[in-house]
Amino acid sequence: MLVLVAPGQGAQTPGFLTPWLELPGAAARVAAWSDAIGLDLAHYGTQADADAIRDTAVAQPLLVAAGLLSASALGIDAAARRASAEGGGGRREEQAAPGAVAGHSVGEITAAAFAGVLDDTTALTLVRRRGLAMAEAAAITETGMSALLGGDPEVTVPHLEKLGLTPANVNGAGQIVAAGTLEELAALAEDKPEGVRRVVPLKVAGAFHTRHMAPAVAKLEEAAAELAPADPAVTYVSNKDGKTVATGAEVLSRLVGQVANPVRWDLCMETFQELGVTALIEVCPGGTLTGIAKRALPGVKTLALKTPDDLDAARDLIAATAEAAAEATA
């Protein structure tokens, strides 16, 4: 089974969208999305510097747009999946992929679009409001996030709590992301938990998935109340607890709450294993989640979409996964 995943904030780099806009129809599609949300996605994805795309209000819609664009280049879109779920036709890639979807943090909105819970424009409109709300919340207090590499969670988590920090992302494969005030993060850098090899500050502008984001939750509740989500057309795995979610209303509720609650990517990967994952593709800007999967999901084939040059290999992996599934059920 193939799992399609979408990365979270911090995966963006200057100019990463440039080669994707050269694909047929891509520039027009991104221009339409930009008009819909009032943000020049093409500019930020091609010309803006690292500081500009670090802005939460910019980074989040940019990441969702990149994920949707790269998935579409594989022939994966919500309309095709819903048609397939309802007995309609589609290209081989659309029918074979994915068996399940998930996203890390803001990538959950990308995944909701993959599953057909939200259409692309609605997903981008929601993430634009999410990014603005979280940027406003982050401006109240100077906060940030740092990744801890190595160590035992049973030792690391109590150490973080002692320093006043939150284990905001429990990613598995020996990685936990701590979030809190800059003073608390400075104390962590000077006093690492036992067994932790490195503490790496992340390119984000706030302590996401912590109590510091509580002001953003109310604004997202207002935004969500205006939407009419569909039920997932494929299996949707949630960051909250790694559980699969069967209704669009529950997916949307979890999208709202997750901005102030920890990401449990470790539990998502456990669910992938339970579902029988054999291959994992991470949409643009891929790399982070495939890196974790290589350590946590031995034997699972992984592929990160970084540029359009990766599309042929992704199509081959999709085809091979479908072929293996067909042989297993023959």
Examine residue 83 and state whether it is found in any structural domain, yes or no. yes
Residue 37 sits in the same domain as residue 87: yes
Q: What is the pLDDT of residue 259?
A: 95
Which of 155, 178, 201 terminates a domain? The answer is 201
Average pLDDT score over the chain? 92
Q: What is the pLDDT of residue 97?
A: 66
pLDDT band for 309, please (50, 70, 90 cuts).
very high
- Model confidence, pTM: 0.92
Residue 236 sits in the same domain as residue 102: yes
The more confident residue out of 329 and 233 is 233
Residue 299 sits in the same domain as residue 249: yes
Examine residue 116 and state whether it is found in any structural domain, yes or no. yes
Residue 90 sits in the same domain as residue 133: yes
CATH number (domain holding residue 163): 3.30.70.250
105 given a catalytic annotation: yes
Q: What is the pLDDT of residue 96?
A: 47
Q: What is the pLDDT of residue 78?
A: 58
Q: What is the pLDDT of residue 330?
A: 72
Residue 149 sits in the same domain as residue 121: no
Q: What is the pLDDT of residue 192?
A: 95
Q: Are strands 279-282 and 2-6 parallel, antiparallel or unpaired?
A: parallel
43 given a catalytic annotation: no
Exposure of 220 by Cβ count < 10 A (0-12 exposed, 13-18 middle, 19+ buried)?
buried
Least confident among 90-94, 185-189, 246-250, 263-267:
90-94
Which of 182, 201, 220 terminates a domain? The answer is 201
pLDDT band for 92, please (50, 70, 90 cuts).
very low
Token pair recorded at residue 75: 């022939």
**What is the pLDDT averaged over residues 122-150?**
95
- Determine which one of 105, 146, 212, 238 is catalytic: 105
Token pair recorded at residue 265: 């990517």
Residue 240 sits in the same domain as residue 112: yes
Of 137, 136, 134, 143, the residue nearest 181 (C-alpha): 143
Residue 181 sits in the same domain as residue 279: no
- Determine which one of 34, 146, 159, 209 is catalytic: 209
Question: How does DSSP assign 52-117, residue by residue?
Answer: HHHSHHHHHHHHHHHHHHHHHHTT--HHHHHHHHTT----HHHHHS-SEEEESTTHHHHHHHHTTS
Residue 148: domain span = 139-201
Q: What is the pLDDT of residues 243-283, one digit of tens each?
A: 999 999 999 999 999 999 999 999 999 999 999 999 999 99
Examine residue 206 and state whether it is found in any structural domain, yes or no. no
